């Protein structure tokens, strides 16, 4: 019997079938045996049904393909489900669910340690504590995955796509909800984040720190607990992203903290309590963005310098720009302000009177938050008017000398 089995196995793995293994939920050829029998360059087909268990070690360069109806279920016990310990491993259309929660270890659906060339495409990860966890890895691609967390609170959940000390990672076309941070980068170099949807995560839709030379294009970050926070990074490019409905007393559309040399272009900020909160940011070009119906449009605190704000549209924000400083080392020019009250005699589309976007009242609210209750009162309007005529408190250097009369045509 034993011999027969071995012969069958040898036949099955004979050249005619070279490179392809099938893993069944039950029987002799389970996922675990398939993984240990696989040779370099093999493909494992995960057949329909529920494959239980966790701790699947991948030690060879293989491709794992989930067939329709195949699920790898960790049953919320054990540890990480797939641990990638080889270069060039690929996951395709695999469904993985129920990763154990731990307060000691970062368990994940797919965890990659110290490897290059991991490629995760079209997978579906449900209730992963961490879903995809890359550590000290390079040249990886995470694309077109659907990642749905369990909507636990901040301290009981992990990140959707987590990358720590990685290089050249491409994250594209993923949908991430219900995690702590949708996408989390720390010590990343050359990360590229394109066309992802990160919504309804407990903390940040996107969170990165110490991650230089990264770019973020055409993503949607919506309804996350605290919006998007990016900190302590250099050379950041964010183009064409949408920041929407990040609403709440401690929520931001985009929090820029200690960010140097960034380029924010053609992003769309709508209905965030604070669209951009900049603290210690510098050498930033903010151009062509739209700020619509936010509480605060741009909140630039004292430590920011050489931020250039040009050709943006500020429409219907309660406060377009606020600051806590009387000084301003930033440049504003050629923006459209819906609160602009000037005129354009020569009809060149540029207002003849400079616009001071910071109101006295916004300074007041910065210092005494409870005075927000006096918004839209005649008294405050009079105070603002008096301040506009003779500025005493608001920064007179924070001025747009070429305010547009009409918003630029929308890019999207």
Partner 1 sequence: MKTTALLLKYVVRDVMRSRWLALYLIFFAAVTEGLLYFTGGEAKTVVGLMNVVLLLIPLAAAVFGTLHVHHNRDFVELMLTQPVSRSAIYFALYLGVSLPFLIAFVVGIGVPAAIHGVVFNPPILTLLAAGSALTMVFFAIAYLIGVVVQDKAAAMGVAFISWLSFAVLYDGLILALTVIFADYPLEKATIAMVVLNPIDLARIIVMLTFDYAALMGYTGAVFQEFFGAATGIIISSSSLIVWTLLPVFIGRRAFGRKDW
Per CB under 8 A, residues contacting partner 1 are 249, 271, 273, 293-296, 315-318, 338, 364, 367-382
296 or 332, CB closer to partner 1? 296
Closest contact distance (angstroms) between CB of 268 and partner 1 is: 16
Cβ distance to partner 1 smaller for residue 293 or 402? 293
- Taking the least distance from each CB to partner 1, the nearer of 223 and 233 is 223
What is the smallest separation between the CB atom of 207 and partner 1, expressed in angstroms? 22
| Beta carbon nearer to partner 1, 28 or 378 | 378
Entry field: residues in the chain: 412
Q: Which is nearer to partner 1, 215 or 339 (CB)?
A: 339
Shortest distance, CB of residue 338 to partner 1, whole angstroms?
7
242-244/43-46 β-pairing: unpaired
CB of 270 to partner 1, least distance (A): 11
| Shortest reach from residue 279's CB to partner 1, in Å | 16
- Least CB distance to partner 1 at residue 152 (A): 23
Q: Is residue 90 within 8 Å of residue 66, measured between CB atoms?
A: no
Cα angle 308, 314, 316 (rounded to 5 degrees) comes to 155
Q: Which is nearer to partner 1, 155 or 370 (CB)?
A: 370
- Burial (CB count within 10 angstroms: exposed 0-12, middle 13-18, buried 19+), residue 242: middle
Quote the least distance from Cβ 310 to partner 1, whole Å.
Answer: 23
Beta-bridge partner residues of 237: 215, 263
Residue closest to 168 by CA, chosen among 195, 132, 137, 202: 137
Closest separation in Å from C-beta 271 to partner 1: 7
For partner 1, the closer of residues 45 and 374 by Cβ is: 374
- Cβ-in-10-Å burial (0-12, 13-18, 19+) of 331 comes to middle
* E strand intervals along 180-312: 183-186, 192-194, 197-199, 206-209, 214-217, 220-222, 227-239, 242-244, 252-265, 268-270, 274-279, 282-287, 290-292, 296-300, 305-310
Q: Which one, 40 or 341, has the nearer CB to partner 1?
A: 341
Element (H, E) at 22: strand 20-23
DSSP calls for 117-170: --EEES-EEES-SEEEEEES-EEEEEES-EEE-----GGG---SEEEES-EEEE
Shorter beta-carbon distance to partner 1: residue 34 or 365: 365
Contact between 46 and 21 (Cβ < 8 Å) = no
Closest CA to 123 of 73, 159, 71: 71
Give the nearest distance from C-beta 294 to partner 1 in angstroms: 7
Minimum distance, C-beta of residue 295 to partner 1, in the bound complex (Å): 4
End-to-end CA gap in the chain: 67
Q: 381 or 411: whose CB is closer to partner 1? A: 381
């Amino acid at each position: 019997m034993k011999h027969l089995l071995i012969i069958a196995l040898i036949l099955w793995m004979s050249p005619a079938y070279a490179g392809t293994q099938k893993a069944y939920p039950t029987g002799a050829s389970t996922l675990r045996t398939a993984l240990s029998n696989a040779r370099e360059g093999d493909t494992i087909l995960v057949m329909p049904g529920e494959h239980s268990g966790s701790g699947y070690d991948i030690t060879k360069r293989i491709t794992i393909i989930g067939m329709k109806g195949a699920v790898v279920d960790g049953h919320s016990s054990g540890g990480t489900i797939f641990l990638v310990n080889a270069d060039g491993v690929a996951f395709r259309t695999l469904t993985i669910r129920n990763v154990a929660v731990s307060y000691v270890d970062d368990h994940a659906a797919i965890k990659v340690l110290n490897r290059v060339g991991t490629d995760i495409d079209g997978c579906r990860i449900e209730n992963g504590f961490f879903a995809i966890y890359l550590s000290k890895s390079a040249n990886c691609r995470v694309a077109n995955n659907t990642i749905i967390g369990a909507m636990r609170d901040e301290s009981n959940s992990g990140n959707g796509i987590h990358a720590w000390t990685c290089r050249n990672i491409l994250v594209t076309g993923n949908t991430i909800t219900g995690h702590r941070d949708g996408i989390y980068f720390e010590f990343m170099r050359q990360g590229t984040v394109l066309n992802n949807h990160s919504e309804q995560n407990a903390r940040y839709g996107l969170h990165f720190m110490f991650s230089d030379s990264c770019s973020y294009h055409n993503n949607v970050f919506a309804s996350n607990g605290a919006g998007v926070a990016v900190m302590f990074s250099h050379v950041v490019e964010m183009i064409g992203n949408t920041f929407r409905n990040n609403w709440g007393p401690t929520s931001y559309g985009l929090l820029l903290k200690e960010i140097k040399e960034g380029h924010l272009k053609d992003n769309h900020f709508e209905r965030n309590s604070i669209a951009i909160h900049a603290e210690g940011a510098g050498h930033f070009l903010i151009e062509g963005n739209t700020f619509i119906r936010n509480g605060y449009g741009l909140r630039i605190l004292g430590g920011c310098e050489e931020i250039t704000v040009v050709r943006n549209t500020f429409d219907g924000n309660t406060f377009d720009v606020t600051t806590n400083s009387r000084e301003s080392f930033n440049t504003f020019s050629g923006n459209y302000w819906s609160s602009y009250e000037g005129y354009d005699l020569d009809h060149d589309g540029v207002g003849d009177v400079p616009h001071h976007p910071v109101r006295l009242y916004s300074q007041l609210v910065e210092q005494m938050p409870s005075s927000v209750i006096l918004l839209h009162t005649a008294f405050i309007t009079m105070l603002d008017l008096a301040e506009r005529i003779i500025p005493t408190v608001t920064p007179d250097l924070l001025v747009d000398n070429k305010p547009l009369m009409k918003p630029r045509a929308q890019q999207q």
